Amino acid sequence: MLDRAQPMLHLRHTLGDPQLGASFVQDELRTHDLVVLRVRHDGGIADDALERTVTTVRAGWSMVRFVVEGPVLVRDGAHGIAVERGEAFASSEWGSAPARSLTTASETLLFAWRSGGSLGPSLPHDGLLRLSPTARNGLFDLAHAMAAREPASTVRATRAAAAIFSAAGLPLDASAPLAAAPRSSHDFARALERVLFPMTSQPMAVDLARALGVCERQALRRANDHFRRFHISVSSWRQYVQGMRVGLGSFFMSQRRARTEHVSRLLGFGSPTSFCHAFHDAGLPSPLAVQRQLLAS
């Protein structure tokens, strides 16, 4: 059977904990040259600098961060810039200006493109974008379409977002076609959604293999190919799971009532000790030290 190309990948990851009153939702749109993420955190503090400690960002990806609900503090070099709801910050490289939420309810839209890909070249520098009220509404529409998981509306809103950023002075070709993904990539994405959450089930490569109907070695080969092709900051199953666990671990630990025993179970760690080791391996202090740091900010 031919592996025919299908529209861009649509994924959703969600994890909530009623005991802590905290939740995380990430909606994703992915092609070879474009990644759009809608990321929402409720009930805690999200910090990019902590979430990306176990990932290796590929060079050549520029991005715009649009604040749907905020504000967030963007750290551009030695400076901190408060980006309010309806404002956008453009970065020449993905991750060059990490952000921390300033409230316990935050939502951001990340629009990233590969330099030299179908959409255009990289940005020459970082900085705030000037957006008209109409442009802001268009970006809110994209966030709402992603939240509602409306494929047709999402594609239209994604094209509109490229036009909005182009009109704001970014070097984007809004008329460029959005590359499709092969059917096998969509199948893998569906399996990934089913396997990764809830993390209390301790997802492993064997679970991914079972969801794909292949052997573990083949599942890992498909995973590595998928991440290298469609992701910016991970290139393997192990790195993907570790990045999710450490990032979500820092977020859930930002709750004043959070304890390592509870959060380690929520994220599928075998014990609080293994949870602490994961933070140590990522170059972070202990989960309790991260909690103190976030609560003091």
The model's pLDDT over 82-130, given as tens digits with 9 standing for 90+, comes to 999 999 999 999 988 999 999 999 999 999 999 988 899 999 889 999 9
In single-letter form, the type of residue at position 186 comes to H
> What is the CATH architecture of 181-296?
Orthogonal Bundle (1.10)
pLDDT for residue 4: 52
Choose the most confident range, by mean pLDDT, from 7-11, 26-30, 147-151. 26-30
SS3 149: coil
* In the predicted structure, residue 214 carries a pLDDT above the cut 80: yes
Query: How much of the chain, in percent, has pLDDT values that exceed 70?
Result: 96
Q: Which fold has domain 7-167?
A: Jelly Rolls (2.60.120)
The model's pLDDT over 223-273, given as tens digits with 9 standing for 90+, comes to 999 999 999 988 999 999 999 999 999 999 999 999 999 999 999 999 999
* In the predicted structure, residue 281 carries a pLDDT above the cut 80: yes
More confident residue, 150 or 221: 221
Helix axes 183-196, 205-212, angle to 10 degrees: 130
CA distance 152 to 51: 31
* In the predicted structure, residue 2 carries a pLDDT above the cut 70: no
The model's pLDDT over 16-62, given as tens digits with 9 standing for 90+, comes to 999 999 999 999 999 999 999 999 999 999 998 886 666 667 789 99
pLDDT for residue 191: 95
- Burial level of 3, CB count in 10 A (0-12/13-18/19+)? exposed
Query: What pTM value is reported for the model?
Result: 0.93
Prior bond to 71 cis, omega within 30? yes
pLDDT for residue 133: 97
CA distance 265 to 245: 11
Q: Average pLDDT of 203-224?
A: 96
Name the residue ranges covered by the structural domains of the chain. Answer: 7-167, 181-296
Encoding tokens for residue 254? Answer: 């930002």
